Amino acid sequence: MRYLARCFCCLLLLFALPAHAAPSRLEAQYDIFKSGLKVAVMHETFTRNRDQYRIESVTRPYGLFALFKHETIHVVSTGTVTALGLRPQTFDYRREHDTNRNAHADFDWLAGKIALTDHAGTRTIPLHTGTQDRLSAMYQFIFLKLDRSTELKFDMTNGSKVDNYHYLIMPGRHVTVPFGSFRTLYLASPPRPNGGRTEIWLAGKLDNLPCKMVITEGNGDKLTQTLTQLKLVP
């Protein structure tokens, strides 16, 4: 069943927006909460130069949490902007201190292969159409017209592995975050056997940029990301 989920390519063909729909520059800031306690601040920058894009994300610990964990997470995705949205070329995940968790991915679309590199070494596996990386996936929503969709399936890599993601789509939900109140599309993964799930709220007025995300772990812990600032250059 997992491999039947490659229909993300078909969804792209049906719901993709023109490449010119992408902004030339976007800066977003998010607060990160763990079980209700603010633990980090994440700043992301999306830049587009014609058909090339670069997304950079920097997450730093906040408040008392910063006194005990001086970790900075730096993530970069680069690639091309196509008629079907973002097509990653490289993905890089770096931790300032816990370097054993660093990971990197190189996408070879011509050969249909993706090279994954982490502490265990480098391995190459097949690359399926529509695959995103952990960072580009959040900005790919800008290119998708999901108003009439009921589900979304795609492959995504974190640099160490590639997993299939499945979201059910429910329209017409209002959500309030520090940056404002928005009518959103609500994406929710079906609950996993251990109770874990991911929920994403896409703000229609912000071209379907995620304004909130909640990841529920199997033990019940919640990681929440909320939009606090946004600067957009058409």
Containing structural domain, residue 29: 2-228
User: Is the pLDDT score of 6 beyond 80?
Assistant: no
In a domain, 112, yes or no: yes
37 CB-near residues (< 8 Å, 6+ apart): 65
- Residue 10, pLDDT score: 39
For residue 205, what are its two tokens?
């007025």
User: Is the pLDDT score of 5 beyond 80?
Assistant: no
In a domain, 141, yes or no: yes
pLDDT by residue (tens digit) across 64-94? 777 777 889 999 999 999 988 999 999 999 9
- Residue 15, pLDDT score: 41
Give DSSP secondary structure letters for 10-61. HHHHHHBPPGGGS-SEEEEEEEEEETTEEEEEEEEEEEEETTEEEEEEEEEE
Q: What is the pTM of this model?
A: 0.88
Q: Which long-range contacts (CB under 8 A, 24 or more apart) does 209-216 make?
A: 209/26, 209/28, 209/139, 209/141, 209/142, 210/138, 210/141, 211/175, 211/177, 211/179, 211/182, 211/184, 212/175, 212/177, 212/184
In a domain, 233, yes or no: no
Q: To the nearest whole percent, how much of the chain has pLDDT over 90? A: 73
In a domain, 81, yes or no: yes
In a domain, 234, yes or no: no
* Domain total of the chain: 1
In a domain, 203, yes or no: yes
User: Is the pLDDT score of 176 beyond 60?
Assistant: yes
Q: Name the region of 172 (left: φ>0; alpha: ψ -120 to 50; beta: rest).
A: left
In a domain, 190, yes or no: yes
In a domain, 172, yes or no: yes
Q: Which of 107-111, 169-173, 199-203 has the lowest mean pLDDT?
A: 169-173
Strands 197-203 and 113-118: unpaired
- CB-CB neighbours of 67 under 10 Å: 8
Cα–Cα dist 75/1, whole Å: 31
Q: What is the CATH number of the domain that holds 111?
A: 2.50.20
